């Protein structure tokens, strides 16, 4: 396109869109072997235990640190990741065992159900897995009875 001296083109100067502020974590979870920064709203929405702990007048509810004695950082990170809305981390026979323990202790029913479904569909039944299912009230798993080889 060629413009004459009498013509002009309005050119809007493109300004970059403002960057969204990152939502900073607001809670440090202190574990036996390290600390993990989290968004308290996520753990509170997923777990009534965390919700009660963090909204109470107890020490945990009044600060930005909570202590989980006897808990490992790697397990907590896997637990936190499993609570994320769009997590893509697959279960393994090892992770599903400790995640189901965390789900039971912190009353995260949806995670517990996912763990149980994985156990039923992907982990062979043996004495240890049945004991785990009984200990953690996994009814579907406890109904799975191992078959003898001669049947």
Looking up residue 29, the CATH number of its domain turns out to be: 3.30.710.10
**How far, CA to CA in Å, does 68 sit from each of 27, 33, 53, 75, 81?**
13, 11, 11, 12, 17
Could you tell me if residue 63 is inside a domain? yes
Kindly state whether residues 136 and 101 are assigned to the same domain: yes
Which of 42, 71, 100 delimits the end of a domain? 71
Could you tell me if residue 42 is inside a domain? yes
Could you tell me if residue 1 is inside a domain? no
Residues 12-48: pLDDT tens digits?
A: 555 666 666 677 889 999 999 999 999 999 999 999 9
Placement of tokens 């953690």 in the chain:
136
Cα distance between residue 142 and residue 131, in whole Å: 8
Kindly state whether residues 132 and 105 are assigned to the same domain: yes
Here the tokens at position 19 are 């960057």
Q: Tell me if 28 sits within 8 A of 68, measured CB to CB.
A: no
Kindly state whether residues 96 and 131 are assigned to the same domain: yes
Task: Please tell me which of 5-14, 93-102, 138-147 the model is most confident about, judged by mean pLDDT.
Answer: 93-102
Kindly state whether residues 65 and 106 are assigned to the same domain: no
Q: Tell me if 103 sits within 8 A of 115, measured CB to CB.
A: yes
**What is the pLDDT at residue 103?**
94
Q: Tell me if 69 sits within 8 A of 77, measured CB to CB.
A: no
Task: Name the pLDDT band for 8 (thresholds 50, 70, 90).
Answer: low
Kindly state whether residues 94 and 126 are assigned to the same domain: yes
Task: Name the pLDDT band for 58 (thresholds 50, 70, 90).
Answer: low
In terms of residue numbers, what domain contains 100? 90-146
Which of 71, 103, 126 delimits the end of a domain? 71
Could you tell me if residue 5 is inside a domain? no
Which of 71, 104, 133 delimits the end of a domain? 71
- Contacts of range 112-116, beta carbons closer than 8 Å, 24 or more positions apart: 112/136, 112/138, 114/82, 115/91, 116/140, 116/141
Could you tell me if residue 98 is inside a domain? yes
- Counting the structural domains of the chain, the total is 2
Could you tell me if residue 80 is inside a domain? no
Sort strands 27-31 and 65-67 into parallel, antiparallel or unpaired: parallel
Q: Would you say residue 109 has pLDDT above 60?
A: yes
Q: Is 123 exposed, middle or buried (0-12, 13-18, 19+ CB in 10 A)?
A: middle
**Average pLDDT in the 112-119 region?**
92
Q: Tell me if 132 sits within 8 A of 112, measured CB to CB.
A: no
Could you tell me if residue 120 is inside a domain? yes
Could you tell me if residue 133 is inside a domain? yes
């Amino acid at each position: 396109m060629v413009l004459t001296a009498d013509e002009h083109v309005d050119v809007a100067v493109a300004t970059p869109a403002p960057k969204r502020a990152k939502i900073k974590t607001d809670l440090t979870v202190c574990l036996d072997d390290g600390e993990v920064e989290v968004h308290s709203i996520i753990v509170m929405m997923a777990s009534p235990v965390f919700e009660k702990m963090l909204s109470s007048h107890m020490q945990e509810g009044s600060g930005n640190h909570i202590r989980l004695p006897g808990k490992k950082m790697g397990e907590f990170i896997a637990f936190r990741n499993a609570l994320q809305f769009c997590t893509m981390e697959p279960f393994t026979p090892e992770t599903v065992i400790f995640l189901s323990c965390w789900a039971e202790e912190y009353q995260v029913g949806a995670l517990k159900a996912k763990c149980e479904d994985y156990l039923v569909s992907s982990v062979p039944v043996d004495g240890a897995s049945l004991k785990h299912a009984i200990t953690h009230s996994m009814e579907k798993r406890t109904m799975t009875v191992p078959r003898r080889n001669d049947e």
